[in-house]
Structure 1
Amino acid sequence: MSDNKAPSIQQDQMRIDLQDEASMKEWEKKLDATAEQLKEAVAAVGDLASDVEAHLKGSRSSVNSERVHNAL
């Protein structure tokens, strides 16, 4: 018998939860983005991390760390 919970747990980890502050901080670091950028991206493409990452890469210049620094 297979464990049906494993895929859903893994799938949940790949979603960005805008209500979880600790999760948001982690995604900000992983995606080199501000909280506002993450919120805008989730609103535009949904909460799948891969979709958000692709959206962010397509909507900003190659040097985003300066924008993140300035936003803080």
Structure 2
Amino acid sequence: MADDLSKRGPPDGIRINVNEAWELRDWSKHFNVTPAKLKEAVAAVGVMTKDVKRHLGK
């Protein structure tokens, strides 16, 4: 599903889209990691938040 940028709110709590600069920034802050580290985690385990969280040890 495409993002509707006219509706601002919290990012999708289930998936992480590292191709959207604002999501990359917000999720990096959320997990307290660099954007590069977040991209590596998503590449390793996929876009599901729970999988990324587990991979990062959070």
Larger radius of gyration: 1
Normalising by structure 2, report the TM-score.
0.73
Pairs aligned (count):
47
Secondary structure at 2:55 match in 1: helix
If each structure's helix is expressed as a fraction of its own residues, which one has the higher value? 1
Greater length-normalized contact order (CA 8 Å, ≥ 6 residues apart): 2
CA RMSD of aligned residues (A): 1.7
Q: Hey, what does 1:16 align to over in structure 2? A: 16
Percent of aligned pairs with the same amino acid: 38
Q: How far 1:44 sits from its partner (Å)? A: 0.6
Q: Hey, what does 1:46 align to over in structure 2? A: 46
Q: 2 CA distance for matches of 1:28 and 1:39? A: 9
Q: How far 1:18 sits from its partner (Å)? A: 1.0
Q: How far 1:47 sits from its partner (Å)? A: 0.4
Q: For structure 1, which runs of at least 5 residues remain unmatched after alignment?
A: 1-11, 59-72
